[in-house]
Amino acid sequence: MAEKRYLKRYLKRLKVRYGLEQPVKLAFTEDISTTGIFIRTYDVLKPGSVILVEIYLSDDNKIMFKGRVMWEKKLPPALVGQAKKAGMGIKIVEFLSDGESVWKKYIESCADLQKAGELNTAGCNDIYKINTNLHSQV
């Protein structure tokens, strides 16, 4: 099957809370892009559902957005860690507050690290903190 996406995805494990009315379910991302995320979870929601997502870019920095479940793959909890993809793909529909600019800067930091060959599970967080500290000092 041909790949449908054209945007670069970055393997990144970030803490996420999500839900239909309130973001109460806890999970983690597996990959991220400018327009969406993949949430690894056994507690999936139906495709087409609009959900609230709270994503933690660091311990003290989180953003919130509305997203649409584009697809899901449901597995028993015991198999989620063993499967290649178990969870749901979320398309970002609307950022709440100033989340869009923060998210774009975060994704740019992942791209910069990947170009330098230094992208790892903590990498985007580290360069993001450096970039935001530099911008706040100007």
Domain count within the chain: 1
- Residue-wise pLDDT for 20-35, tens only, equals 999 999 999 999 999 9
Residue 96 included in any domain = yes
Least confident of 53-57, 101-105, 119-123: 119-123
What residue numbers bound the domain in which 102 lies?
10-137
Of 85, 53, 86, residue with least CA distance to 68: 53
Residue 88 included in any domain = yes
pLDDT at 134 over 50: no
Residue 1 included in any domain = no
Q: Classify residue 103 as left (phi > 0), alpha (psi -120 to 50) or beta.
A: alpha
CA angle 6, 8, 12 (to 5 degrees): 145
Q: Are 112 and 124 in contact (CB under 8 A)?
A: no
Burial of 21 (0-12, 13-18, 19+ CB in 10 A): exposed
For the segment 36-50, the average pLDDT, to the nearest whole number, is 95
The pLDDT assigned to 135 comes to 41
CATH number at residue 33: 2.40.10.220
